[in-house]
Amino acid sequence: MGMKKGREVRKLPVIDIISGQHLGYVQDFKTANYAQLQGLYMISPENNLYYLPLEAIAKMGKDAVLVKSELLKLSTEQIEWSNDLGLTERIVMTTSGEVLGQVSDLLIEEDLGSISGYEVSDGYLKDVMLGRKVIATSDILTWGIDTVIVRDEL
């Protein structure tokens, strides 16, 4: 079972697995909550926004996302998409009030479609010197509008 970072999937070409047709590029993710991926948003060459439910995704490969095009849906509501933005850039804080940084990316389990965790950035210099922290979704106690609260042990 492979794991991908969100930034590895964004901007990948979306290809119909049956016809081989290039349908567009991955724009963003749709989630049920912070722990479950529901699908992907795709921008077509004509600049239309499409929603690809999880069952439409055959494979998230290294260089492309392969889909069953008959299951993609034209997303008529930009509002729906904007509601799913903002998984990143939330402050991550422990239950004792220590700020660990802010959410910078999500980690997707390709085969299950679940979000296994999030990368946390503590500033460019610390990221370069020490690497980014990863928090598992199981360690998240509260996923708030502005702040993610995690176990103190992290």
CATH of the domain at 128: 2.30.30.240
Last residue of a domain, one of 68, 84, 100: 84
pLDDT tens for each residue of 15-28? 999 999 999 999 98
CB 9 within 8 A of CB 26: yes
Tell me which residue range forms the domain holding 95: 91-150
pLDDT of residue 74: 67
- For 4, the token pair is 């991908």
| CA gap 35, 118 in Å, rounded | 10
Between 133 and 113, residue with greater pLDDT: 133
Q: What's the total number of domains in the chain?
A: 2
With a cut of 80, say whether residue 86 has pLDDT above it.
no
Cα 151–152–154 angle (5° rounding)?
Answer: 80
